[in-house]
Amino acid sequence: VQLVQSGAEVKKPGESLRISCEGSGYSFTTYSIHWVRLLPGKGLEWMGTIDPSDSYTNYNPSFQGHVTFSTDKSVNTAYLHWSTLRASDTAMYYCAAGGPFFFDFWGHGTLVTVSS
């Protein structure tokens, strides 16, 4: 199982962004995809999850309404989307695949920097 995440991004506040996470080495609909944030100098935060088989989502209320999860099964890829970035979104973002509850496989992360 391998999860390959898109490259680092530098954006301005108010801009939109979509980062990706491509799964390989397994059937993409087998595992849920979770998104986890690592803030500079802080610990890990679970943002939520999406089930690629039916697009069911479960958002952490702390992130609900600010981010959107989606998947495209035709290209085995999950996406994390912001319509309006804030400076406080500056962080490393990991995707992880696993069951509904914990995270068996992780990507290497996408660094997002939001600065004017």
Interface residue list for another protein (CB under 8 A): 3, 42-46, 48, 58, 60-62, 94, 96, 98, 101-109
Burial of 97 (0-12, 13-18, 19+ CB in 10 A): buried
Q: Which is nearer to another protein, 46 or 90 (CB)?
A: 46
Q: Which residues pair with 35 in a beta bridge?
A: 48, 95
Tell me how far, at minimum, the Cβ of 98 lies from another protein, in Å: 8
Tell me how far, at minimum, the Cβ of 100 lies from another protein, in Å: 8
Residues 68, 81 contacting (CB under 8 angstroms)? yes
Q: Which is nearer to another protein, 22 or 45 (CB)?
A: 45
3-state secondary structure of 64: strand
Tell me how far, at minimum, the Cβ of 91 lies from another protein, in Å: 14
